[in-house]
A = this chain, B = another copy of it.
Amino acid sequence: MEPVLIYDTTLRDGTQGENVNFSAEEKIKIAKQLDDIGIHYIEGGWPGSNPKDKQFFDLAKQNVFNNARLTAFGSTRRPGISAAADSNLKALVESGTSAVTIFGKSWGLHVKQVMGNTLKENIAMIRDSVAFLKENDREVIYDAEHFFDGYKENSEYAMQTLMAAVDGGAGSIVLCDTNGGSLPFEIESIIKKVQLTLEDKYRQDKGLKPVNVGIHAHNDCGLAVANSIAAVQAGAVMVHGTINGYGERCGNADLTSIIPILCLKMDCPSISGENLSKVKKVSRFVSETANMIPLNNRPFVGKSAFAHKGGIHVSAIMKIPRAYEHINPELVGNKRRVLVSDLSGKSNVKFKARELGVELDGSGYDSSRIVSEVKRLEQQGYQFDVADGSFKILMEKFTEQFKPLFELKSFRVHIEKDKDRLCSSHATIKISVDGLEKITVAEGNGPVSALDNALRKALDKFYPGSLDSTHLVDFKVRVIDGRDGTGSKVRVLIESRDYNDIWSTIGVSEDIIEASWQALADSFQYKLSKMSMP
Protein backbone atom coordinates (compact mmCIF):
# COMPACT_ATOMS: atom_id res chain seq x y z
CA MET A 1 0.00 0.00 0.00
CA GLU A 2 0.99 3.64 -0.54
CA PRO A 3 2.06 5.74 2.45
CA VAL A 4 -0.87 7.59 4.00
CA LEU A 5 -0.55 11.31 4.75
CA ILE A 6 -0.95 12.13 8.43
CA TYR A 7 -2.72 15.40 9.18
CA ASP A 8 -2.56 16.51 12.80
CA THR A 9 -5.22 18.82 14.23
CA THR A 10 -4.24 18.66 17.90
CA LEU A 11 -3.62 22.41 17.89
CA ARG A 12 -7.06 23.24 16.48
CA ASP A 13 -9.67 20.49 16.88
CA GLY A 14 -7.79 19.02 19.85
CA THR A 15 -8.23 22.25 21.80
CA GLN A 16 -11.99 21.85 21.48
CA GLY A 17 -11.61 19.12 24.11
CA GLU A 18 -12.61 19.87 27.67
CA ASN A 19 -9.59 21.07 29.65
CA VAL A 20 -7.29 21.18 26.62
CA ASN A 21 -5.76 24.63 26.25
CA PHE A 22 -2.43 25.72 24.87
CA SER A 23 -0.70 29.08 24.72
CA ALA A 24 0.71 30.17 21.37
CA GLU A 25 4.22 29.29 22.63
CA GLU A 26 3.10 25.84 23.72
CA LYS A 27 1.53 25.31 20.31
CA ILE A 28 4.87 26.08 18.66
CA LYS A 29 6.62 23.55 20.90
CA ILE A 30 4.10 20.86 20.01
CA ALA A 31 4.30 21.70 16.31
CA LYS A 32 8.08 21.30 16.44
CA GLN A 33 7.70 17.84 17.99
CA LEU A 34 5.16 16.81 15.35
CA ASP A 35 7.45 18.07 12.62
CA ASP A 36 10.29 16.16 14.17
CA ILE A 37 8.52 12.79 13.82
CA GLY A 38 7.56 13.39 10.22
CA ILE A 39 3.88 14.33 10.45
CA HIS A 40 2.90 15.58 7.00
CA TYR A 41 0.45 18.36 7.88
CA ILE A 42 0.02 20.35 11.09
CA GLU A 43 -3.13 22.40 11.45
CA GLY A 44 -2.10 25.33 13.60
CA GLY A 45 -5.39 27.00 14.36
CA TRP A 46 -8.19 29.19 13.15
CA PRO A 47 -6.65 32.66 12.71
CA GLY A 48 -10.04 34.25 12.08
CA SER A 49 -11.60 32.96 15.27
CA ASN A 50 -9.28 34.18 18.01
CA PRO A 51 -6.17 36.31 18.57
CA LYS A 52 -4.20 33.44 20.18
CA ASP A 53 -4.29 31.48 16.93
CA LYS A 54 -3.24 34.53 14.95
CA GLN A 55 -0.28 34.92 17.35
CA PHE A 56 0.66 31.28 16.68
CA PHE A 57 1.00 31.89 12.95
CA ASP A 58 3.08 35.01 13.59
CA LEU A 59 5.41 32.97 15.81
CA ALA A 60 5.44 30.11 13.29
CA LYS A 61 6.96 32.42 10.66
CA GLN A 62 10.08 32.64 12.84
CA ASN A 63 10.43 28.84 12.98
CA VAL A 64 11.65 26.32 10.46
CA PHE A 65 9.68 23.14 9.88
CA ASN A 66 11.62 20.43 8.13
CA ASN A 67 8.96 17.86 7.33
CA ALA A 68 5.50 19.21 7.93
CA ARG A 69 3.39 21.71 6.05
CA LEU A 70 1.64 24.04 8.43
CA THR A 71 -2.01 24.74 7.64
CA ALA A 72 -4.36 27.49 8.74
CA PHE A 73 -8.01 26.56 9.24
CA GLY A 74 -11.18 28.47 8.45
CA SER A 75 -14.57 28.27 6.82
CA THR A 76 -15.89 28.97 3.35
CA ARG A 77 -16.88 32.58 2.61
CA ARG A 78 -20.03 34.05 4.09
CA PRO A 79 -23.16 33.92 1.91
CA GLY A 80 -23.86 36.76 -0.46
CA ILE A 81 -20.39 38.26 -0.70
CA SER A 82 -17.37 37.52 -2.89
CA ALA A 83 -14.56 35.35 -1.56
CA ALA A 84 -12.13 38.24 -1.90
CA ALA A 85 -14.34 40.36 0.39
CA ASP A 86 -14.43 37.76 3.16
CA SER A 87 -12.29 38.79 6.13
CA ASN A 88 -11.95 35.20 7.32
CA LEU A 89 -10.50 34.04 4.00
CA LYS A 90 -8.21 37.07 4.03
CA ALA A 91 -6.95 36.11 7.48
CA LEU A 92 -6.19 32.62 6.15
CA VAL A 93 -4.06 34.01 3.36
CA GLU A 94 -2.34 36.40 5.77
CA SER A 95 -1.42 33.57 8.10
CA GLY A 96 1.26 32.80 5.53
CA THR A 97 1.00 29.00 5.45
CA SER A 98 1.50 27.29 2.10
CA ALA A 99 -1.48 25.03 2.75
CA VAL A 100 -4.92 26.14 3.92
CA THR A 101 -7.83 24.04 5.15
CA ILE A 102 -11.39 25.26 4.86
CA PHE A 103 -14.56 23.52 5.83
CA GLY A 104 -17.92 23.68 4.13
CA LYS A 105 -21.35 22.18 4.55
CA SER A 106 -22.45 18.85 3.00
CA TRP A 107 -25.71 18.39 4.85
CA GLY A 108 -28.93 20.12 3.82
CA LEU A 109 -30.04 20.26 7.45
CA HIS A 110 -27.11 22.55 8.25
CA VAL A 111 -27.30 24.57 5.07
CA LYS A 112 -30.99 25.31 5.35
CA GLN A 113 -32.12 24.95 8.94
CA VAL A 114 -28.99 25.95 10.85
CA MET A 115 -27.54 28.57 8.49
CA GLY A 116 -30.72 29.69 6.74
CA ASN A 117 -28.88 29.43 3.44
CA THR A 118 -29.85 27.92 0.09
CA LEU A 119 -28.37 24.71 -1.26
CA LYS A 120 -27.25 26.53 -4.39
CA GLU A 121 -25.45 29.38 -2.62
CA ASN A 122 -23.69 26.82 -0.40
CA ILE A 123 -22.25 25.11 -3.48
CA ALA A 124 -21.07 28.47 -4.82
CA MET A 125 -19.48 29.33 -1.46
CA ILE A 126 -17.44 26.13 -1.54
CA ARG A 127 -16.27 26.53 -5.12
CA ASP A 128 -15.48 30.26 -4.79
CA SER A 129 -13.61 29.92 -1.53
CA VAL A 130 -11.42 27.08 -2.73
CA ALA A 131 -10.77 28.91 -6.01
CA PHE A 132 -9.85 32.12 -4.16
CA LEU A 133 -7.25 30.30 -2.08
CA LYS A 134 -5.88 28.56 -5.17
CA GLU A 135 -5.54 31.96 -6.86
CA ASN A 136 -3.44 32.95 -3.87
CA ASP A 137 -1.17 29.97 -4.52
CA ARG A 138 -2.27 27.92 -1.58
CA GLU A 139 -2.57 24.15 -1.45
CA VAL A 140 -6.21 23.72 -0.46
CA ILE A 141 -7.52 20.98 1.78
CA TYR A 142 -11.29 20.92 1.81
CA ASP A 143 -13.04 19.52 4.91
CA ALA A 144 -16.53 18.30 4.06
CA GLU A 145 -18.22 18.80 7.41
CA HIS A 146 -20.93 16.25 8.27
CA PHE A 147 -20.23 14.49 5.00
CA PHE A 148 -21.47 11.08 6.09
CA ASP A 149 -24.64 12.43 7.72
CA GLY A 150 -25.28 14.53 4.64
CA TYR A 151 -24.61 11.59 2.33
CA LYS A 152 -27.02 9.34 4.21
CA GLU A 153 -29.75 11.96 3.86
CA ASN A 154 -29.10 13.14 0.31
CA SER A 155 -26.17 11.48 -1.39
CA GLU A 156 -26.54 13.44 -4.58
CA TYR A 157 -26.28 16.84 -2.88
CA ALA A 158 -23.43 15.74 -0.61
CA MET A 159 -21.52 14.63 -3.70
CA GLN A 160 -22.21 17.96 -5.45
CA THR A 161 -20.58 19.83 -2.55
CA LEU A 162 -17.46 17.68 -2.94
CA MET A 163 -17.33 18.25 -6.67
CA ALA A 164 -17.60 22.00 -6.09
CA ALA A 165 -14.41 21.77 -4.01
CA VAL A 166 -12.73 19.67 -6.72
CA ASP A 167 -13.82 22.17 -9.38
CA GLY A 168 -12.46 25.01 -7.27
CA GLY A 169 -9.06 23.29 -7.29
CA ALA A 170 -8.84 21.52 -3.95
CA GLY A 171 -5.85 19.21 -3.60
CA SER A 172 -7.53 17.09 -0.96
CA ILE A 173 -11.13 16.50 0.00
CA VAL A 174 -11.57 15.28 3.53
CA LEU A 175 -14.76 13.48 4.49
CA CYS A 176 -15.70 14.38 8.06
CA ASP A 177 -17.79 12.29 10.41
CA THR A 178 -18.35 15.44 12.44
CA ASN A 179 -20.87 13.98 14.89
CA GLY A 180 -18.93 10.74 15.23
CA GLY A 181 -22.01 8.60 14.73
CA SER A 182 -21.01 6.52 11.72
CA LEU A 183 -19.94 2.87 11.76
CA PRO A 184 -16.90 1.47 9.91
CA PHE A 185 -18.90 -0.44 7.32
CA GLU A 186 -20.85 2.73 6.47
CA ILE A 187 -17.63 4.74 6.15
CA GLU A 188 -16.09 2.10 3.91
CA SER A 189 -19.06 1.80 1.59
CA ILE A 190 -19.60 5.56 1.24
CA ILE A 191 -15.92 6.23 0.53
CA LYS A 192 -15.94 3.56 -2.16
CA LYS A 193 -18.86 5.36 -3.80
CA VAL A 194 -17.06 8.69 -3.59
CA GLN A 195 -14.06 7.12 -5.31
CA LEU A 196 -16.24 5.85 -8.15
CA THR A 197 -17.74 9.30 -8.67
CA LEU A 198 -14.27 10.84 -8.69
CA GLU A 199 -13.09 8.32 -11.26
CA ASP A 200 -16.03 9.24 -13.46
CA LYS A 201 -15.02 12.87 -13.13
CA TYR A 202 -11.41 12.16 -14.05
CA ARG A 203 -12.63 10.29 -17.14
CA GLN A 204 -14.73 13.26 -18.20
CA ASP A 205 -12.04 15.86 -17.46
CA LYS A 206 -8.73 14.45 -18.60
CA GLY A 207 -6.81 17.51 -17.35
CA LEU A 208 -7.96 17.13 -13.75
CA LYS A 209 -5.28 16.11 -11.30
CA PRO A 210 -6.60 13.36 -9.01
CA VAL A 211 -7.37 14.69 -5.53
CA ASN A 212 -6.46 13.06 -2.25
CA VAL A 213 -9.41 11.64 -0.35
CA GLY A 214 -9.09 12.02 3.41
CA ILE A 215 -10.96 11.01 6.54
CA HIS A 216 -11.67 13.07 9.66
CA ALA A 217 -13.31 10.92 12.34
CA HIS A 218 -14.66 11.62 15.80
CA ASN A 219 -14.89 9.11 18.59
CA ASP A 220 -18.50 9.36 19.75
CA CYS A 221 -19.05 5.63 19.25
CA GLY A 222 -15.54 4.62 20.31
CA LEU A 223 -14.87 3.93 16.63
CA ALA A 224 -12.72 6.84 15.44
CA VAL A 225 -9.61 4.70 14.95
CA ALA A 226 -11.62 1.95 13.27
CA ASN A 227 -13.38 4.44 11.00
CA SER A 228 -10.04 5.95 10.00
CA ILE A 229 -8.51 2.64 9.04
CA ALA A 230 -11.71 1.52 7.31
CA ALA A 231 -11.40 4.67 5.22
CA VAL A 232 -7.80 3.80 4.36
CA GLN A 233 -8.94 0.29 3.38
CA ALA A 234 -11.44 1.96 1.05
CA GLY A 235 -8.78 4.13 -0.54
CA ALA A 236 -8.41 7.26 1.61
CA VAL A 237 -4.82 8.55 1.56
CA MET A 238 -5.01 11.24 4.25
CA VAL A 239 -5.97 10.74 7.89
CA HIS A 240 -6.88 13.58 10.23
CA GLY A 241 -6.51 13.09 13.95
CA THR A 242 -5.02 14.40 17.17
CA ILE A 243 -2.34 13.24 19.56
CA ASN A 244 -3.99 11.25 22.36
CA GLY A 245 -7.32 11.66 20.59
CA TYR A 246 -7.92 14.98 22.32
CA GLY A 247 -10.96 16.77 20.98
CA GLU A 248 -14.53 17.78 21.54
CA ARG A 249 -16.97 15.41 23.31
CA CYS A 250 -15.37 11.93 23.05
CA GLY A 251 -12.40 13.22 21.09
CA ASN A 252 -10.95 12.92 17.61
CA ALA A 253 -9.29 9.92 16.00
CA ASP A 254 -6.19 9.14 18.04
CA LEU A 255 -3.05 9.39 15.91
CA THR A 256 -1.06 7.55 18.58
CA SER A 257 -3.08 4.44 17.61
CA ILE A 258 -3.58 5.12 13.92
CA ILE A 259 0.09 5.71 13.07
CA PRO A 260 1.30 2.43 14.65
CA ILE A 261 -1.56 0.48 13.04
CA LEU A 262 -0.78 1.91 9.60
CA CYS A 263 2.95 1.33 9.98
CA LEU A 264 2.97 -2.03 11.73
CA LYS A 265 -0.20 -3.76 10.64
CA MET A 266 -1.32 -2.35 7.32
CA ASP A 267 1.92 -1.97 5.44
CA CYS A 268 1.44 1.83 5.11
CA PRO A 269 4.69 3.21 6.57
CA SER A 270 3.42 6.77 7.02
CA ILE A 271 6.37 7.77 9.16
CA SER A 272 9.76 6.10 9.45
CA GLY A 273 10.44 3.31 11.92
CA GLU A 274 12.83 5.57 13.80
CA ASN A 275 10.14 8.22 14.16
CA LEU A 276 7.55 5.62 15.12
CA SER A 277 9.65 4.87 18.18
CA LYS A 278 9.16 8.50 19.26
CA VAL A 279 5.37 8.28 19.27
CA LYS A 280 5.13 7.56 22.97
CA LYS A 281 7.39 10.52 23.75
CA VAL A 282 5.22 12.85 21.68
CA SER A 283 2.09 11.52 23.36
CA ARG A 284 3.59 12.30 26.76
CA PHE A 285 4.85 15.70 25.67
CA VAL A 286 1.37 16.72 24.56
CA SER A 287 -0.35 15.43 27.70
CA GLU A 288 2.23 17.17 29.90
CA THR A 289 1.85 20.43 27.99
CA ALA A 290 -1.93 20.23 28.27
CA ASN A 291 -1.51 19.22 31.92
CA MET A 292 -3.80 16.27 31.26
CA ILE A 293 -3.36 13.03 33.15
CA PRO A 294 -1.87 10.53 30.67
CA LEU A 295 -4.27 7.65 30.15
CA ASN A 296 -2.54 4.52 31.43
CA ASN A 297 -4.49 2.15 29.21
CA ARG A 298 -4.12 4.17 26.02
CA PRO A 299 -3.31 1.70 23.21
CA PHE A 300 0.36 1.53 22.17
CA VAL A 301 1.58 4.50 24.25
CA GLY A 302 -0.05 4.10 27.70
CA LYS A 303 1.89 3.10 30.77
CA SER A 304 -0.19 -0.10 31.04
CA ALA A 305 -0.33 -0.91 27.32
CA PHE A 306 2.29 -3.63 27.74
CA ALA A 307 1.89 -4.30 31.45
CA HIS A 308 1.49 -7.90 32.55
CA LYS A 309 -0.01 -8.93 35.83
CA GLY A 310 1.73 -11.84 37.51
CA GLY A 311 1.33 -15.52 36.95
CA ILE A 312 0.84 -17.41 33.71
CA HIS A 313 1.12 -14.41 31.43
CA VAL A 314 4.44 -13.25 32.87
CA SER A 315 6.15 -16.60 32.65
CA ALA A 316 4.91 -16.99 29.07
CA ILE A 317 6.10 -13.49 28.19
CA MET A 318 9.54 -14.23 29.59
CA LYS A 319 9.84 -17.17 27.24
CA ILE A 320 8.04 -15.78 24.19
CA PRO A 321 6.94 -12.13 24.27
CA ARG A 322 4.50 -12.50 21.40
CA ALA A 323 2.55 -15.04 23.46
CA TYR A 324 0.79 -12.08 25.07
CA GLU A 325 2.04 -9.04 23.13
CA HIS A 326 0.64 -8.04 19.77
CA ILE A 327 3.71 -5.97 18.90
CA ASN A 328 7.16 -5.32 20.31
CA PRO A 329 6.56 -2.31 22.61
CA GLU A 330 9.89 -0.75 21.66
CA LEU A 331 8.62 -0.16 18.12
CA VAL A 332 6.47 2.67 19.51
CA GLY A 333 8.95 3.71 22.21
CA ASN A 334 7.01 1.99 24.96
CA LYS A 335 8.16 -0.81 27.21
CA ARG A 336 7.00 -4.01 28.77
CA ARG A 337 6.23 -3.81 32.46
CA VAL A 338 6.56 -7.01 34.42
CA LEU A 339 7.47 -7.77 37.98
CA VAL A 340 11.02 -8.77 37.14
CA SER A 341 14.12 -6.65 36.87
CA ASP A 342 14.49 -5.14 33.47
CA LEU A 343 18.08 -4.95 32.28
CA SER A 344 17.36 -2.37 29.61
CA GLY A 345 17.05 0.18 32.43
CA LYS A 346 20.82 0.28 32.86
CA SER A 347 21.56 1.47 29.38
CA ASN A 348 18.90 4.18 29.72
CA VAL A 349 20.52 5.46 32.87
CA LYS A 350 23.96 5.44 31.24
CA PHE A 351 22.63 7.25 28.21
CA LYS A 352 20.87 9.88 30.31
CA ALA A 353 23.90 10.42 32.55
CA ARG A 354 26.11 11.07 29.56
CA GLU A 355 23.55 13.54 28.24
CA LEU A 356 23.49 15.47 31.55
CA GLY A 357 27.25 15.42 31.99
CA VAL A 358 27.40 13.13 35.01
CA GLU A 359 30.39 10.79 35.12
CA LEU A 360 29.09 7.35 36.11
CA ASP A 361 32.35 5.43 35.83
CA GLY A 362 33.90 6.90 38.96
CA SER A 363 33.93 5.28 42.34
CA GLY A 364 30.66 4.52 44.05
CA TYR A 365 28.89 3.77 40.81
CA ASP A 366 26.63 0.78 40.90
CA SER A 367 24.36 0.73 37.90
CA SER A 368 21.91 -1.87 39.20
CA ARG A 369 21.48 0.05 42.42
CA ILE A 370 20.73 3.23 40.47
CA VAL A 371 18.24 1.44 38.23
CA SER A 372 16.40 -0.12 41.13
CA GLU A 373 16.38 3.14 43.10
CA VAL A 374 14.99 5.03 40.09
CA LYS A 375 12.31 2.38 39.72
CA ARG A 376 11.39 2.63 43.38
CA LEU A 377 11.07 6.41 43.13
CA GLU A 378 9.04 6.16 39.92
CA GLN A 379 6.66 3.83 41.67
CA GLN A 380 6.22 6.55 44.30
CA GLY A 381 5.21 9.00 41.59
CA TYR A 382 8.47 10.62 40.53
CA GLN A 383 8.84 10.99 36.82
CA PHE A 384 12.38 11.63 35.77
CA ASP A 385 11.71 11.70 32.04
CA VAL A 386 10.17 15.16 32.57
CA ALA A 387 12.55 16.36 35.30
CA ASP A 388 16.13 16.07 34.20
CA GLY A 389 17.33 18.68 36.71
CA SER A 390 16.26 16.45 39.58
CA PHE A 391 17.51 13.34 37.79
CA LYS A 392 20.98 14.85 37.47
CA ILE A 393 21.08 15.63 41.19
CA LEU A 394 19.86 12.12 41.98
CA MET A 395 22.63 10.52 39.92
CA GLU A 396 25.23 12.79 41.49
CA LYS A 397 24.01 11.66 44.89
CA PHE A 398 24.29 7.99 43.95
CA THR A 399 27.77 8.39 42.58
CA GLU A 400 28.98 10.48 45.51
CA GLN A 401 29.57 13.46 43.27
CA PHE A 402 26.85 15.56 44.85
CA LYS A 403 28.05 18.83 46.38
CA PRO A 404 25.19 20.44 48.27
CA LEU A 405 25.55 24.19 47.76
CA PHE A 406 23.19 24.93 50.64
CA GLU A 407 21.48 23.00 53.39
CA LEU A 408 18.05 23.54 54.84
CA LYS A 409 17.88 23.89 58.61
CA SER A 410 14.18 24.71 58.87
CA PHE A 411 11.36 26.80 57.50
CA ARG A 412 8.01 28.07 58.75
CA VAL A 413 5.23 29.38 56.56
CA HIS A 414 2.26 31.22 57.92
CA ILE A 415 -0.89 31.92 55.91
CA GLU A 416 -3.66 34.22 57.08
CA LYS A 417 -7.01 35.02 55.63
CA ASP A 418 -9.73 37.22 57.02
CA LYS A 419 -13.20 37.52 55.58
CA ASP A 420 -13.28 39.49 52.30
CA ARG A 421 -9.53 40.08 52.35
CA LEU A 422 -7.01 38.16 50.27
CA CYS A 423 -4.71 35.60 51.79
CA SER A 424 -1.32 36.71 52.96
CA SER A 425 1.69 34.44 53.36
CA HIS A 426 5.08 34.88 54.89
CA ALA A 427 7.94 32.44 55.27
CA THR A 428 11.00 32.30 57.48
CA ILE A 429 13.84 30.06 56.41
CA LYS A 430 17.15 29.06 57.93
CA ILE A 431 19.85 27.61 55.66
CA SER A 432 23.53 26.94 56.04
CA VAL A 433 26.42 27.08 53.58
CA ASP A 434 29.79 25.66 54.67
CA GLY A 435 28.69 25.78 58.30
CA LEU A 436 27.57 29.42 58.19
CA GLU A 437 23.88 29.90 58.98
CA LYS A 438 21.53 32.50 57.67
CA ILE A 439 17.91 33.16 58.62
CA THR A 440 15.64 35.31 56.46
CA VAL A 441 11.98 36.16 56.17
CA ALA A 442 9.95 37.11 53.10
CA GLU A 443 6.41 37.59 51.98
CA GLY A 444 4.95 36.14 48.83
CA ASN A 445 1.86 35.45 46.82
CA GLY A 446 1.11 32.21 48.54
CA PRO A 447 3.33 29.87 50.52
CA VAL A 448 5.49 28.61 47.65
CA SER A 449 6.19 32.12 46.50
CA ALA A 450 7.02 33.20 50.08
CA LEU A 451 9.41 30.25 50.40
CA ASP A 452 10.95 31.00 47.01
CA ASN A 453 11.55 34.63 48.01
CA ALA A 454 12.96 33.75 51.43
CA LEU A 455 15.31 31.16 49.96
CA ARG A 456 16.54 33.54 47.26
CA LYS A 457 17.16 36.20 49.91
CA ALA A 458 19.20 33.78 52.03
CA LEU A 459 21.16 32.38 49.08
CA ASP A 460 21.96 35.87 47.89
CA LYS A 461 24.09 36.39 51.01
CA PHE A 462 26.32 33.49 49.98
CA TYR A 463 26.11 33.71 46.18
CA PRO A 464 25.45 37.39 45.48
CA GLY A 465 23.54 38.02 42.27
CA SER A 466 23.70 34.38 41.19
CA LEU A 467 19.99 33.82 41.08
CA ASP A 468 18.95 37.15 39.60
CA SER A 469 18.53 35.71 36.12
CA THR A 470 16.71 32.58 37.30
CA HIS A 471 12.98 32.57 36.72
CA LEU A 472 10.31 30.03 37.16
CA VAL A 473 8.71 29.26 33.81
CA ASP A 474 6.04 26.87 34.90
CA PHE A 475 4.75 25.33 38.05
CA LYS A 476 2.50 22.30 37.68
CA VAL A 477 0.80 20.35 40.37
CA ARG A 478 -0.84 17.03 39.68
CA VAL A 479 -2.63 14.66 41.98
CA ILE A 480 -1.07 11.27 41.32
CA ASP A 481 -4.01 9.26 42.53
CA GLY A 482 -7.04 11.41 43.25
CA ARG A 483 -8.81 8.82 45.30
CA ASP A 484 -7.56 10.19 48.60
CA GLY A 485 -8.95 13.68 48.05
CA THR A 486 -6.95 16.66 49.23
CA GLY A 487 -4.77 14.18 51.14
CA SER A 488 -3.62 12.52 47.91
CA LYS A 489 -0.04 12.32 46.86
CA VAL A 490 0.88 15.20 44.55
CA ARG A 491 3.64 15.72 42.08
CA VAL A 492 5.02 19.22 41.67
CA LEU A 493 6.93 19.98 38.52
CA ILE A 494 8.87 23.22 38.28
CA GLU A 495 10.39 24.48 35.09
CA SER A 496 13.04 27.15 35.55
CA ARG A 497 15.15 29.11 33.16
CA ASP A 498 18.03 31.51 32.96
CA TYR A 499 19.42 33.18 29.84
CA ASN A 500 20.82 30.01 28.34
CA ASP A 501 19.02 27.08 29.76
CA ILE A 502 15.69 25.57 30.84
CA TRP A 503 15.60 22.85 33.48
CA SER A 504 12.87 20.89 35.20
CA THR A 505 12.77 19.65 38.75
CA ILE A 506 10.30 17.52 40.61
CA GLY A 507 8.99 16.86 44.09
CA VAL A 508 6.54 14.20 45.27
CA SER A 509 4.74 14.15 48.58
CA GLU A 510 1.31 13.93 50.11
CA ASP A 511 2.04 17.50 51.18
CA ILE A 512 2.00 20.05 48.40
CA ILE A 513 4.42 22.33 50.26
CA GLU A 514 6.88 19.50 50.87
CA ALA A 515 6.70 18.55 47.18
CA SER A 516 7.10 22.17 46.11
CA TRP A 517 10.06 22.57 48.45
CA GLN A 518 11.81 19.54 46.94
CA ALA A 519 11.35 20.87 43.41
CA LEU A 520 12.36 24.40 44.41
CA ALA A 521 15.47 23.28 46.28
CA ASP A 522 16.53 21.06 43.36
CA SER A 523 16.03 23.94 40.94
CA PHE A 524 18.32 26.31 42.88
CA GLN A 525 20.84 23.56 43.52
CA TYR A 526 20.90 22.79 39.78
CA LYS A 527 21.39 26.45 38.91
CA LEU A 528 24.14 27.05 41.46
CA SER A 529 26.04 23.89 40.54
CA LYS A 530 25.84 24.85 36.87
CA MET A 531 27.52 28.16 37.79
CA SER A 532 30.23 26.55 39.88
CA MET A 533 31.26 24.26 37.04
CA PRO A 534 34.56 25.13 35.39
Contact = CB atoms under 8 A, between A and B. Distances in A.
Interface of A: 16-19, 21, 49-50, 109-110, 113-114, 178-181, 183-185, 219-223, 225-226, 229-230, 233, 245, 248-251, 254, 257, 260-261, 265-266, 291, 293, 295-300, 302, 304-310, 313, 316, 319-320, 322-327, 339, 342-343, 383, 385-386, 407-419, 422-425, 444-449, 451-453, 471-479, 482-483, 485-488, 490, 495, 509-514, 517, 520
B423 A110 contact: no
A511 B445 contact: yes
Total copies of the chain: 2
Q: Does more than half of chain A's interface fall in helix, strand or loop, or is it mixed?
A: mixed
Contacts of A245: 297
B291 A18 contact: no
Nearest to A474: B482
Contact of A219 (B299, B417, B471): B299
A18 B304 contact: yes
25 contacts: A18-B385, A179-B322, A181-B265, A219-B299, A220-B305, A221-B225, A248-B310, A250-B304, A291-B478, A291-B483, A293-B483, A295-B295, A409-B419, A410-B417, A412-B417, A413-B447, A414-B415, A417-B517, A445-B487, A446-B514, A449-B510, A453-B486, A471-B483, A473-B482, A476-B477
A209 to B, nearest CB: 30
A489 to B, nearest CB: 8
A82 B248 CA distance: 57
Nearest to A492: B477
Given A220-B305, A446-B513, A475-B477, A18 B339 contact: yes
A304 B422 CA distance: 31
Nearest to A452: B486
A419 B415 contact: no
A165 B302 CA distance: 36
